[in-house]
Every structure is written in structure tokens, then in C-alpha cells.
């Protein structure tokens, strides 16, 4: 895939779940409720097609979706801003 920069992963080539190459870019906060698009914060995660769009992927599996969102919020609070700012940008507290 083309060079997409994620703040969470240096290398977006390999699937986070299974390590397959040719990972797709999953936007962790793809919902429209987010005031700040996740393209601004670059909160992406690399996932192969199966781990991305399959039954256990974040688009089908709510628990997996939440797992990634919690991971991204933890990163945000460590490196970007406060919980209040996170909630202001993404509309919700996941932790
Ligand atoms: Zn995978
Ligand atoms: Zn996705």
C-alpha cells in the first residue's frame, strides 16, 4: 500500500493481527460523530483484508472496534492531549 503514516504504527505494511503483508489502512474512528477526522490525528491501524473486513474485524465485531479505539485513546492521552480534549474531538470516552 502507498505510504500512509500512522502515529500508532511505523510500518503500515503488515497486519497488526496476523502479520500478513499487504495490510489495508483501517481508520480507527471512522464514525461521523467525530468532530476531528481521524485523518488529522492519523489514528490508523494496518489490517489485512480478513482481519479488517472479516467477521472478527472492527467493521463487523464491536468488541474489536472498541479494542482499537481504547488503544488509540490511550495513545492520545499519552502523546497528544488530555481526556477532555479527546472527548471533545471524538465525542466519547472509551476508557
Ligand atoms: Zn490479518
Ligand atoms: Zn476500516
The residue range of the domain holding 39 is 24-88
pLDDT for the residue numbered 7: 80
How far apart CA 28 and CA 12 sit, in angstroms, is: 14
pLDDT for the residue numbered 40: 74
Whether residue 93 is contained in a domain is answered as: no
Q: Around ion ligand 2, which residues have CB less than 5 A away?
A: 26
Nearest listed ligand to the Cα of residue 45:
2
**19: confidence class by pLDDT, cuts 50, 70, 90:** very high
Burial class (CB in 10 A: 0-12, 13-18, 19+), 26: buried
Whether residue 8 is contained in a domain is answered as: no
To the nearest whole number, what is the mean pLDDT of the chain?
Answer: 88
Ligand 2 centroid vs 84 CA: distance in angstroms?
Answer: 25
Total domains in the chain come to: 1
Whether residue 65 is contained in a domain is answered as: yes
Find the angle CA(36)-CA(37)-CA(42) to the nearest 5 degrees: 110
pLDDT for the residue numbered 1: 45
pTM of the model: 0.87
Ligand 2 centroid vs 65 CA: distance in angstroms?
Answer: 9
pLDDT for the residue numbered 39: 66
- Enumerate long-range contacts of 64-71, CB under 8 Å, 24 or more apart: 66/94, 68/26, 68/28, 69/28, 69/29, 69/94, 70/94, 70/95, 71/8, 71/28, 71/45
Whether residue 12 is contained in a domain is answered as: no
Ligand 2 centroid vs 87 CA: distance in angstroms?
Answer: 21
Amino acid at each position: 500500500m502507498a505510504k500512509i503514516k500512522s502515529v500508532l504504527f511505523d510500518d503500515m505494511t503488515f497486519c497488526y493481527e496476523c502479520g500478513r503483508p499487504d495490510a489495508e489502512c483501517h481508520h480507527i474512528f471512522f464514525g461521523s460523530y467525530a468532530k476531528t477526522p481521524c485523518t488529522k490525528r492519523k489514528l490508523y491501524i494496518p489490517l489485512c483484508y480478513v482481519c479488517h473486513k472479516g467477521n472478527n474485524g472492527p467493521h463487523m465485531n464491536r468488541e474489536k472496534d472498541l479494542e482499537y479505539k481504547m488503544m488509540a485513546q490511550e495513545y492520545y492521552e499519552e502523546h497528544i492531549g488530555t481526556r477532555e480534549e479527546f472527548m471533545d474531538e471524538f465525542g466519547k470516552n472509551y476508557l
